Each structure stands twice: as C-alpha cells, then as structure tokens.
Amino acid sequence: MSHMTKSRTEILLEKERFHPKPKSGGGLLSYEVWGYRESGKNIVTRYAIAYINHDICQVDNGRVLGFDNAHDYHHRHYMGSVEPVEFESYEATLDRFQQEWMELISQLGKEKP
C-alpha cells in the first residue's frame, strides 16, 4: 500500500521583484509565494507580498503596505502597524493588495505640489 498522504513538500511558486518608476511611486514591489501543485493547481501555503519604499515609511523595514501569513496568522502591514485580516484566498489577498497599492500611489501623486 502506498503512502500518498504524507506531507507535501513546499516549493517556491513565485518570487518576483519590481521597481516601479518614480511616477508610479518608486520603491519595490515584492511577491513571494510558497506551496505545492495538486491536480494542476497551485495550493498556496505561505505568502508575503509587500510594497517597500523607505522614502514613504521609515519603520517596518520600509514596508508601506504588505500582506503575509507569517507567525501563524494572516495579517496586513501598513506604515508600521500590523493588523489581522480575514483570509478568503491568496488570489483575493493579492487583488486587495494591488487595489490598495494603486489607491496609495494615486493619493501620493495628489499630494505632490
């Protein structure tokens, strides 16, 4: 009898870093996603997505906005504060991150003289 139910090995599913142009906020967008493949689908087990810009935020390693599930819970980082968030799916979290990042960049653009 085979033991196919043993724990799956986590693999790095995605690791990307983007440096937006200054007019798009500058800084760094970082995506790191871990999990495994099952039936042709990615099953996400760990993730860390962040917008880092030391010109905007000098605390939390420059993390202006981010979501991750380190420390055994899903949470949101914003300008040095951390709060738990409801988790629906990684895709929904990614959509929320991208939407909040675009709103943030839009607001920053309006604040410039």
Q: Could you tell me if residue 42 is inside a domain?
A: yes
Distance separating the N- and C-terminal Cα atoms of the chain: 71
Domain that residue 94 falls in = 11-106
Q: Is residue 30 part of a domain?
A: yes
Which single residue is written with the structure tokens 């040095």?
80
Q: Are 65 and 101 in contact (CB under 8 A)?
A: yes
User: What is the reported pLDDT for 71?
Assistant: 92
- 112 within some domain: no
Tell me what pLDDT residue 52 has. 97
The pairing of beta strand 63-68 with beta strand 41-52: antiparallel
pTM: 0.88
Give percent above pLDDT 90 in the chain: 80
Residue 5 lies in a domain: no
Q: What is the pLDDT of residue 8?
A: 80
pLDDT for 7 equals 63
In a domain, 2, yes or no: no
d(CA 71, CA 79): 19
Sign of the C-alpha dihedral computed for residues 82, 88, 91 and 95 taken in this order: negative
Number of domains present in the structure of the chain: 1
Q: Which mean pLDDT values do the consecutive 10-residue runs of the chain (113 residues) have?
A: 60 96 92 94 95 95 97 96 96 97 88 60
DSSP one-letter code for 57: -
